[in-house]
A and B are shown apart, each in its own frame.
Chain A
Amino acid sequence: MVAPLIDIQDISFEYEETKALDHISMKVEEGDFLAILGPNGSGKSTLLKIMLGLIKPSKGKIELFGVDSKNFKNREWIGYVSQKSNSFNSGFPATVKEVVAGGLAKKTGLFHRLPKTTHQQVVEALEAVSMEPFIDRSISELSGGQQQRIFIARALIAKPKVLILDEPTVGIDHENVQAFYDMLARLNQDKNITMVLVTHDVDTVTDRITHVACLNQTIHFHGYKEQLHTMSDEKREAWYGHSVRKIHHIGGSHT
Chain B
Amino acid sequence: MIEAIFSYEFLQNAFAAGLIIGVIAPLLGVFIVVRRLSLIADALSHVTLAGIAGSLYLSQSVASLALLNPLFLGIAASVGGSMLIERLRSLYKHYQELAIPIILSAGIGFGAIFISLAEGFSSDLFGYLFGSVSAVSREDLFIVVGVAVIVLAFVFIFFKELFVLSFDDEYARASGLPAKWIHFMFMIVTALVIAGSMRIVGILLVSSLMTIPVATAMRVTKSFKQTIFLSIVFGEISVITGLVSAFYLDLAPGGTIVVTSIFLLLLVLAYKKIKVSRKKGAIA
Q: Enumerate chain A interface residues (CB-CB to B < 8 A).
A: 52-54, 73, 75-76, 78, 80, 82, 86-89, 91-95, 98-99, 101-106, 108, 110-111, 113-114, 137-138, 141, 151, 154, 158
Mask, B141-158, CB within 8 Å of A = 1, is: 000000000000000011
B32-49 contacts to A, CB under 8 A, are: 34, 36
Residue of chain A at shortest CB distance from B34: A92
User: Mind listing 24 A-B residue pairs with CB under 8 Å?
Assistant: A52-B174, A53-B174, A54-B170, A73-B176, A75-B174, A80-B171, A80-B174, A82-B171, A87-B171, A92-B224, A93-B34, A94-B163, A95-B224, A98-B163, A102-B163, A102-B168, A105-B160, A106-B175, A110-B178, A114-B160, A138-B223, A141-B222, A151-B171, A154-B171
A92 touches B161 (CB 8 A): no
A105 touches B223 (CB 8 A): no
B213-236 contacts to A, CB under 8 A, are: 217-218, 221-227
B135 at the A interface (CB under 8 A): no
Q: How many interface residues does chain B have, given as a range?
A: 20 to 34
A105 touches B168 (CB 8 A): no
B173 at the A interface (CB under 8 A): yes
Residue of chain A at shortest CB distance from B224: A94
A105 touches B227 (CB 8 A): no
B223 touches A75 (CB 8 A): no
Interface of chain A: mostly helix, strand, loop or mixed: mixed
A138 touches B161 (CB 8 A): no
A93 touches B222 (CB 8 A): yes
Question: Which residue among A80, A86, A87, A106 has the maximum number of chain B CB atoms within 10 Å of its CB?
Answer: A106
Q: Which 10 A-B pairs have the closest CB atoms?
A: A75-B176, A138-B222, A80-B174, A102-B164, A52-B174, A94-B224, A93-B227, A95-B223, A105-B160, A88-B168
Interface of chain B: mostly helix, strand, loop or mixed: helix
Q: A76 is contacted by which of B173, B175, B218, B226 (Cβ under 8 Å)? A: B175
- Specify which chain B residues have a CB less than 8 angstroms from the CB of A137 in the assembled complex: 222
Residue of chain B at shortest CB distance from A80: B174
B170 touches A87 (CB 8 A): yes
B167 at the A interface (CB under 8 A): yes
A141 CA to B160 CA in the complex, in Å?
Answer: 22
A103 CA to B167 CA in the complex, in Å?
Answer: 11
Distance in Å: Cβ of B15 to nearest Cβ of chain A: 30
- Specify which chain A residues have a CB less than 8 angstroms from the CB of B223 in the assembled complex: 93-95, 98, 138
A59 CA to B176 CA in the complex, in Å?
Answer: 22
Q: B218 is contacted by which of A53, A93, A104 (Cβ under 8 Å)? A: A93
- Specify which chain B residues have a CB less than 8 angstroms from the CB of A110 in the assembled complex: 158, 161, 178
A89 touches B36 (CB 8 A): yes
B177 at the A interface (CB under 8 A): yes
- Specify which chain B residues have a CB less than 8 angstroms from the CB of A113 in the assembled complex: 160
A103 CA to B221 CA in the complex, in Å?
Answer: 22
- Specify which chain A residues have a CB less than 8 angstroms from the CB of B177 in the assembled complex: 105-106
